[in-house]
Amino acid sequence: MKIIMLGAPGAGKGTQAKKIAEKYAIPHISTGDIFRANIKEGTELGKKAKAYMDKGELVPDELVCDLVVDRISQADAKNGYVLDGFPRTIPQAEALDAALEKINEKVDFAIDVDVPDDNIINRMSGRRACVSCGGTYHVEFNPTKVEGVCDACGGKLILRDDDQPETVKNRLEVYHAQTQPLIAYYTEKNILKTVDGTQDMAKVFTDIVGILEV
């Protein structure tokens, strides 16, 4: 099962992708997490990506596409995967399709987690991320047992630099200009499924499972 998560930054793609990955025992591949891990390790890729991420801009396609094509060709991805945060542009979607076509495969579902911009600002300002494992929480909607401490690994929680309100506004603009056109792209391919992302997390997941198990 090859699944793509679409939706604005903060729509809940990562939250749902994690649950999908657990339920169907497939890897959750988040390009944002890959970049953040590279930044933490101080790699060349991390240095290049950080400059774009801090401004709320997209990392150039040429730094993203090969990385994902390489990742999905690893052994743990042979039964499928859930891609979170990729593709984010039409050229990225085309690069993915071209890579899959070469091995006679295709994406099965593109799930759009639909949340209006007004809700997004609130979601992002309350999001807290673990500096150690990347786990994501929300101060109101998904709080940790102990404030500021990751439930999963005990790591410290932070507000991501790119979740500051000014950067979020830019990320939303970038989303509408560069990523939203993917909705038409996957509608055309007859694999787009939309879920109402304003519902609580459990209900959003139930709706997604309903889509995947028809």
Establish whether 78 is a catalytic residue.
no
Please identify which of the residues 18, 48, 71, 160 carries the catalytic annotation: 160
User: Is residue 52 close enough to count as binding ligand AMP by CB under 6 A?
Assistant: yes
Q: Write out the residues near ligand ADP by the rule CB under 6 A.
A: 7, 9-15, 123, 126-127, 136-138, 141-142, 197, 200-201, 204
167 binds, among ligand AMP, ligand ADP, none (CB under 5 to 8 A by kind): none
Write the CA distances from 6 to 19, 25, 30, 88, 110, integer angstroms. 15, 20, 12, 8, 7
CB of 72 to ligand ADP, least distance (A): 19
138 binds, among ligand AMP, ligand ADP, none (CB under 5 to 8 A by kind): ligand ADP
User: Tokens in use for 106?
Assistant: 């295709």
Establish whether 171 is a catalytic residue.
yes
Residue recorded with tokens 């992002």: 124
Please identify which of the residues 88, 123, 128, 193 carries the catalytic annotation: 88
User: For the chain, what percentages of helix, strand and coil (3-state, to nearest 5) are there?
Assistant: 50, 15, 30
160 class by beta-carbon count within 10 Å (0-12 exposed, 13-18 middle, 19+ buried): middle
Q: How many angstroms separate the CA atoms of 16 and 135, rounded?
A: 12
Establish whether 36 is a catalytic residue.
no
User: Is residue 4 close enough to count as binding ligand AMP by CB under 6 A?
Assistant: no
Closest CA to 178 of 65, 59, 66, 84: 59
Please identify which of the residues 50, 127, 128, 193 carries the catalytic annotation: 127
The smaller minimum CB distance to ligand ADP, of residues 99 and 159, is found at 159
Write the CA distances from 67 to 55, 161, 214, integer angstroms. 22, 23, 32
- Interface with ligand AMP in residues 7-36 (CB under 6 A): 9, 31-32, 35
**Residues forming the active site:** 13, 88, 127, 160, 171
